[in-house]
Structure 1
Amino acid sequence: MSTRRGRRLAPIVAVAGALALTACSPGSSGGGGGGTDDEGVTTVTFRLWDEAAAAAYEESFAAFTEQHPEIRVEIEQVPWANYWEQLPLDLQAGEMADIFWTNTSNFGRYADAGNLLDITEVLGEDHDEWNPAAVELYERNGSLWGVPQLSDSIALLYNKTLLDEAGIDPTTLAWSPNPDEDTLLPALQQLTTDSAGVTAAEEGFDPDDVAVWGFNAQNDLQAIWLDFLAQNGGVFQDGDSYAFSSPEGVEAFTYLVDLINTHHVAPPAADTNANGDLSRELFVQGKLALFQTGQYSLPFTADIGDSFEWGVAPMIAGPEGRIGVVHAVAALGNADTEHPDEVAEVLRWIGSAEGQSFLAESGAAFPAAVEAQQTFTDYWNEQGVDTTPFLEQAAGPSVSAPLGPNSNAGLEALGGYFPDMFAGLIPVADALAQAQDAANEAIAE
């Protein structure tokens, strides 16, 4: 458990690979691989969607070119809003960059279609050590298809001021569908207060006038419900198919939905459905006691200032322990590149601890190269933030982010049911069954 007094940090844009990552930048629509000039210098093109990461890569590639003067790397920025629409069009037209970013929901279709370089063949074992969980995300049909760049794990940000007043140790909190084993709900009832200062554990508590919420139970795949599902022994996917509508799934989602609609210790789903960042905003304002999230939320703690003390603790445990989602952004090699040898050198560089250190040194991104992770940790230590719980969870039991060639279609299908389920408008068992059928139908089309 780590604590600090909130103080102003330099503003940073979070670029770690959140599943709903929306950081984007003014894009250039240019595409296509690079070429070789009259002086024998080959240009390799590199596409991504995030401006802050692009700035770090600019520094990284400058260092690379010093070591490989015969290769320069040209960065293309395409905004997230257009990225996935543009990508297949450029691949089909032969205008795609030599190397490009992806997330787990999108790479499978391109690997299956033969659009990608096989990293297992291109690099073999000649690379620095990567986070094993990040590597597994980009393995398919016995090969590795992406070089892991940034990764996320889940931990618990907590308002130390509020928890100290309530006498609650965040490291001891665990949820369970068995009330006799559940320590989370009783703690949340003490931490949730209405505007008159009455806690949710006391008679007279007004759920319609809450001043401080206990926990960010909400429709958040990465930080909340996929973790709770795995911690109860449930699975989200069986192969590429969806399998979350199970007794274990019903128990896990019922627990979360009840925190919102029965116990009133989490913000209303109508509000968090409309604003996925609301819980983060409430935590920064001192109106949320426990905020389960990934490293991507750390930069926003700059806005806490000196209003309260906060810290980082291990994520909430479940019946089967602390099992968290690990997600990663990877760099893919275009199989149609005209410069495979030069692309291989760039891929080797951006997979190295030296190459990824530029992403880590500003504290904005947690690198997948293991030896570069200390750079990220050192940055936050200088800010008074101990990121050990994130590191420990990254190395601990984990569950994969959504995978499969049509994963996006499946996730979109869930969107027709999960918001209403969290709002209490559809019974949990019914919503899960309908959502699973819709998702499996969507990926089969």
Structure 2
Amino acid sequence: MKRHSITLRSAAALILSATVAISLTACSPGASGGDSARTTDSTQTVTFRLWDDVAASAYEDSFAEFTEQNPSIKVDVEVVPWANYWDRLPLDISSGDMADVYLVNSSNFAQYADNGDLLNVSAELGTDHDEWQQSVVDIYTRDGSLWGVPQLWDSIGLFYNKDMVEKAGVDVNDLTWAPEAGDGDTLLAAAQALTVDSAGNNAASADFDSSNIDVYGFNAQADLQAIYRPFLAQAGAQFQDDDNQFAFASDAGVAAFTYLVDMVNTYHVAPSAADTNTNADITRDMFVQGKLALYQSGPYNLKTIAESASNINWGLAPLVSGPEGRISTVHGVSAVGNAATKNKEATVKVLEWLGSEEGQLPLAEEGVSFPAVVSAQDAFVKYWADRDVDVSVFIDAAEGTTAAPPVGTAVNAGFNAASPLLADLFLGKTDIAKGLAAAQAAGNAAME
């Protein structure tokens, strides 16, 4: 799922996605996904679209087994990059060129369900299927029906550099923030102890040189899924109200954003927004390079970190807590069926496979992400346990108090209008209260 949009990507959002099948077809923005459910004399072809290839080998293995069991159906996968995915989606649906099955996130499915563009999963698959992660089911349930087959889910935890934490004497299991770093706050002091300049002075030292920082303490940045959505919830602020209108410009919202922005611009314990606003993954890269001590993120970054952080000793801890406790964002990605498919029977069979334990086991066994089929999740835990990584912090976060991802028929348009203004706040040049109010107003206007 890809992050930094409203997603699971997160790298997040979802962030995570998946690809491919028996044949992997990379589509350029100008390529057409037409000829859905193509039929030859002996084989029907169902197309499956997604936005990333992080899980390419897992889906390839999954669909290979599917075709082994269903020789008359082949699955072709179209990979449309995240940058083009959501722009192409409505155009291809309108033109009839959309894939038979495609991945969506929470902010981009409701309008298509309401417009009659999606197969009704409740009606087509019924209740006779493997158990799915309830939080993902809830996200994609609308007007009493389920509109997507849950695929992946993620929550938020804290990646940390064990050597740096030990040297600084930081307890990563007891990190809490409080407005203005007041009573009970332990996060700022920890981030100061972990932030070190080129001369070896930490950010709490009078000799600290904020213009020459070698290691930063924490990734305070404009990351919806991993950073400011949890901080808003932990402050007691709403992101959206009961009518799906943005409502983050409250006193509690100001407190959350002020804390994060101060980490960047007042205390210099987080990288500059001039860098993180243009490359949201730069903090992940800094972490694996040993230039960031604490990196709050989700399991969508596990494989990248595990494969890239060969020179650091890292571990996982619970995400930081706040005034209202330890509240994580929980998000999920689903596979939806195109209501205009030319081969509904084969498309439904592919959806059934994608919602089965057998269909999702490759995602778990290859350590891609938590699969939404509950019975397949132990395989994901085992994959990482075999590599001495305990992923239970993500399970605990998902089972605790959680914050819902953005939802609504027009929320993607709203977030696209609000997010640049929210990102600008991290530059430290805008009054937080006025900036939040402007972002909220812009977002709500775009959703009208």
TM-score (norm 1): 0.91
Distance 1:168 1:97 in 2: 50
Give the SS at the match of 2:420: coil
Distance 1:22 1:208 in 2: 38
Aligned to 1:67: 69
Report if the CA contact (8 A) 1:32-1:98 is conserved: no
Q: 1:44-55 to 2 correspondence within 5 Å?
A: 44-55=46-57
Report if the CA contact (8 A) 2:12-2:225 is conserved: no
Tell me whether 1:34 sits opposite 2:37 in the alignment: yes
Aligned to 1:133: 135
Check 1:394–1:92 CA distance in 2 against 1; reply closer, same or farther (3 A cut): same
Aligned to 2:273: 269
Q: 1:83-162 to 2 correspondence within 5 Å?
A: 83-162=85-164
Give the SS at the match of 1:415: helix
Q: Which has the higher mean CA deviation after the structures are superposed, 215-224 or 326-335?
A: 326-335
Aligned to 2:187: 184
Check 1:190–1:152 CA distance in 2 against 1; reply closer, same or farther (3 A cut): same
Q: Shift of the alpha carbon at 1:434?
A: 0.4
TM-score (norm 2): 0.90
Give the SS at the match of 2:447: helix
Q: Which has the higher mean CA deviation after the structures are superposed, 334-343 or 21-30?
A: 21-30
Check 1:22–1:415 CA distance in 2 against 1; reply closer, same or farther (3 A cut): farther
Give the SS at the match of 2:77: strand
Q: Which has the higher mean CA deviation after the structures are superposed, 143-152 or 48-57?
A: 48-57
Give the SS at the match of 2:158: strand
Check 1:271–1:90 CA distance in 2 against 1; reply closer, same or farther (3 A cut): closer
Deviation track 1:246-296 (CA, whole Å, cap 9, x = no partner) reads 111111111111111111111121121122112112111112111001112
Unpaired runs of 5+ residues, structure 1, are 1-13
Give the SS at the match of 2:304: helix
User: Residue 300 of structure 1 aligns to which amino acid in structure 2?
Assistant: T
What is the aligned-residue RMSD (CA, Å)? 2.1
Q: Shift of the alpha carbon at 1:50?
A: 2.5
Report if the CA contact (8 A) 2:12-2:298 is conserved: no
Aligned to 1:427: 431
User: Residue 442 of structure 1 aligns to which amino acid in structure 2?
Assistant: A
Q: Shift of the alpha carbon at 1:234?
A: 0.9
User: Residue 217 of structure 1 aligns to which amino acid in structure 2?
Assistant: A
Check 1:78–1:204 CA distance in 2 against 1; reply closer, same or farther (3 A cut): closer
Distance 1:93 1:268 in 2: 43
Tell me whether 1:206 sits opposite 2:209 in the alignment: yes
Report if the CA contact (8 A) 1:362-1:376 is conserved: yes
Check 1:186–1:390 CA distance in 2 against 1; reply closer, same or farther (3 A cut): same
Q: Percent identity?
A: 53
Report if the CA contact (8 A) 2:18-2:55 is conserved: no
Report if the CA contact (8 A) 2:151-2:354 is conserved: yes
Tell me whether 1:354 sits opposite 2:358 in the alignment: yes
Aligned residue among 13, 18, 21 for 1:18: 13
Report if the CA contact (8 A) 2:149-2:336 is conserved: yes
Aligned to 1:77: 79
Report if the CA contact (8 A) 2:195-2:217 is conserved: yes
Q: 1:245-256 to 2 correspondence within 5 Å?
A: 245-256=249-260
Q: 1:362-381 to 2 correspondence within 5 Å?
A: 362-381=366-385
Higher relative contact order (CA 8 A, sep 6+): 1
